[in-house]
């Protein structure tokens, strides 16, 4: 009976220390009795994390007596805490992102290389070059058999006008006689949406694949994606899209978004987005007041201005529209903040997360 008590006590310590206090989290437990335990013996337990099994911890447990002699050994497999993987959207691109893992991890390198190879062969550009160098322009040449195939791919791309229903070429500049086509962006092509999107998806997929290869993903894990992150999540966690498929889909998604509005020779448009934080204006500036300000600017100008993303209630909303209206919104929020501060200047305060002089509207 002393052996059964010791084995049960060891299991209970594993449950409390590693299983969050729930017996059901210990999914496998094998124990061996290696020596005698006598009445009055002091026992000492040590548990070591020796491996992983599909996201579950594998523990090696050893119990010794006061003389250091092992009396019990055990192997336990324990569930980890509930886990969720959240795949982020566009806006976090950085030159060189993911390239440290590209150098060190064969798993990450394979993901990046597969995406890069497909985009080279299909569309004539290197996404790795975008990430490493962020060139301000590149030229895709259509010479030779491979070049003609790439040109045909671009020529096959069409889009439908949501108003008229008319189907037109996505890139009307490219025809059967076009010898080359150039992409350019004043801030660098990595930050142009059609290139930023596949780069970010590859980064997230490469990171997730590394975690998965290390067997760190629990069987009952959950996932979610925000905007572009939905594609990364479906490809990475759900396995719904192969690397080659997802980079092509998001490149085309970004290209359509980039071509949705007229742009000048440097790729600039009259439209943009800002993230607004009502709490930076003050506690009096509620969500409802913000809507009235946005609607009032749109009505007065006759130009577009709308709240398009509701990210964090009372703390982050994305407003999109024409740049002149976005600038007006920024000035209006600053004015509201100034007026309120002047009214309470006898007791100045700075709200949490706010620095003096911060613009309540942060430009994307």
pLDDT tens for each residue of 351-362: 333 333 455 555
The 10 Å CB-count burial string (b at 16+, else e) for 268-296 is: eeebbebbbbbbbbbeebeeeebeebbee
Contact between 354 and 340 under an 8 Å Cβ cutoff? The reply is no
- CA-based max dimension of the chain: 94
Mean pLDDT of 73-98: 93
Report the CATH fold assignment for 271-363. Answer: Alpha-Beta Plaits (3.30.70)
pLDDT-derived band of residue 303, with 50, 70 and 90 as boundaries? very high
pLDDT computed for residue 149 by the predictor: 98
The top-level CATH class assigned to 86-259 is: alpha beta
User: Cα 299 to the chain's mean position, in Å?
Assistant: 35
Q: What is the mean pLDDT of the chain?
A: 89
Per residue in 98-157, pLDDT tens? 999 999 999 999 999 999 999 999 999 999 999 999 999 999 999 999 999 999 999 999
Please state the domain extents for the chain: 2-80, 86-259, 271-363
Question: Distance (Å, rounded) from C-alpha 272 to C-alpha 293?
Answer: 18
Task: Give which of 184, 183, 113, 191 is closest to 141, Cα–Cα.
Answer: 183
Give pTM, 2 decimals. Answer: 0.75
pLDDT computed for residue 63 by the predictor: 95
Alpha helices in 260-322 (DSSP H): 278-281, 287-301
Q: Helices 243-259 and 228-236, interaxial angle, to 10°?
A: 170
CA dihedral 135, 136, 141, 142 (to 10 degrees): 120
Quick one: CATH architecture of 2-80?
A: Roll (3.10)
DSSP-derived letter for residue 297 is H
Q: How many residues does the chain have?
A: 364
């Amino acid at each position: 009976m002393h052996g059964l008590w010791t084995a049960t006590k060891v299991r209970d310590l594993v449950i409390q220390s590693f299983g969050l206090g729930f017996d059901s989290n210990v999914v496998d437990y094998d124990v061996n009795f290696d020596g005698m335990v006598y009445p009055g013996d002091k026992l000492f337990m040590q548990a070591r994390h020796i491996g992983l099994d599909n996201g579950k911890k594998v523990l090696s447990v050893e119990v010794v007596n006061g003389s250091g002699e092992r009396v019990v050994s055990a192997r336990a497999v324990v569930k980890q805490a509930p886990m969720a993987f959240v795949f982020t959207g566009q806006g976090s691109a950085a030159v060189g992102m993911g390239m440290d893992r590209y150098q060190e991890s064969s798993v990450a390198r394979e993901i990046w290389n597969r995406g890069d190879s497909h985009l080279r062969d299909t569309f004539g550009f290197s996404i790795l070059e975008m990430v490493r160098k962020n060139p301000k322009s590149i030229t895709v040449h259509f010479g030779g058999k491979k070049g003609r195939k790439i040109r045909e791919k671009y020529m096959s791309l069409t889009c439908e006008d949501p108003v008229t229903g008319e189907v037109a070429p996505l890139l009307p500049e490219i025809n059967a006689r076009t010898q080359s086509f150039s992409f350019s962006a004043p801030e660098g092509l990595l930050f142009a949406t059609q290139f930023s999107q596949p780069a970010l998806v590859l980064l997230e997929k490469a990171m997730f694949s590394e975690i998965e290869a290390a067997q760190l993903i629990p069987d009952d894990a959950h996932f979610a994606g925000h905007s572009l992150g939905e594609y990364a999540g479906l490809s990475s966690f759900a396995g719904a899209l192969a690397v080659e498929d997802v980079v092509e889909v998001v490149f085309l998604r970004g290209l359509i978004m980039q071509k949705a509005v007229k742009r000048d020779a440097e790729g600039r448009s009259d439209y943009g987005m800002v993230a607004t934080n009502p709490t930076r204006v003050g506690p009096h500036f509620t969500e409802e007041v913000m809507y009235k300000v946005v609607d009032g600017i749109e009505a007065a100008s006759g130009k577009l201005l709308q709240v398009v993303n509701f990210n964090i209630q009372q703390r982050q909303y994305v407003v999109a529209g024409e740049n002149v209206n976005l600038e007006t919104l920024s000035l209006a929020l600053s004015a509201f903040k100034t007026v309120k501060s002047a009214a309470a200047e006898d007791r100045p305060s700075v709200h949490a997360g706010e620095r003096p002089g911060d613009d309540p509207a942060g430009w994307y």
